[in-house]
């Protein structure tokens, strides 16, 4: 599965409704076309995939409906993955640091226990059983 297939599951429809003073009938078609074109250019520049874009108009409003817009770009999806990996690496580093501290502490205790065992051995060696 490539990254785009994963993004397809994160699709949404987008509705934009612009209210205005009366738009003359002769200007509505151009306004619809300009709105559709500008929206398509903007989403493409942002790296967002879109499905069908439909623009509608009435004398007092322009409406744009864009279908199947990706909720994330491939780059933002990869950035989120990178953040998760970085967080996991930091966690592993912290655990490694704790393990290292535990190992050093255990080694110190083993040395002290070995010293105590040697002292005990020397003390016991002085005793004679009759």
Q: What is the pLDDT of residues 75-118, one digit of tens each?
A: 566 666 677 777 767 777 777 777 777 788 888 888 899 898 88
Residues 82 and 60 in one domain: no
pLDDT score for 12: 83
Residue 130 belongs to a domain: no
Q: Which of 35, 88, 90, 82 is nearest to 57 (CA)?
A: 35
Residues 43 and 96 in one domain: no
pLDDT score for 7: 46
d(CA 8, CA 12): 9
97 lies in which domain range? 75-122
Q: Considering 72, 88, 110, which residue would you say is the last residue of a domain? A: 72
pLDDT score for 56: 94
* pTM confidence score: 0.51
Residues 52 and 10 in one domain: yes
Q: Report whether pLDDT(37) > 80.
A: yes
Q: What is the pLDDT of residues 39-75, one digit of tens each?
A: 888 888 877 788 899 999 999 888 999 998 876 555 5
pLDDT score for 25: 86
E strand intervals along 1-130: 11-19, 53-58, 61-70
Handedness of CA 90, 94, 99, 105 (dihedral sign): positive
Q: Which of 76, 37, 73 is nearest to 54 (CA)?
A: 37
Residues 57 and 95 in one domain: no
């Amino acid at each position: 599965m490539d990254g785009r297939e994963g993004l397809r599951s994160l699709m949404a429809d987008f509705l934009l409704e612009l209210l205005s003073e009366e738009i003359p009938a002769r200007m509505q078609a151009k306004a619809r076309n300009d709105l559709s074109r500008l929206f398509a250019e903007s989403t493409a520049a942002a790296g967002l995939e879109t499905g069908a874009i439909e623009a509608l108009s009435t004398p007092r409003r322009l409406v744009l409906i864009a279908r199947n817009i990706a909720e994330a770009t491939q780059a933002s999806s990869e950035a989120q993955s990178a953040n998760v990996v970085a967080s996991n690496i930091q966690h592993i580093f912290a655990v490694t640091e704790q393990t290292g501290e535990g190992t050093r502490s255990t080694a110190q205790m083993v040395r002290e226990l070995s010293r105590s065992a040697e002292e005990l051995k020397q003390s016991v060696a002085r005793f004679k059983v009759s």
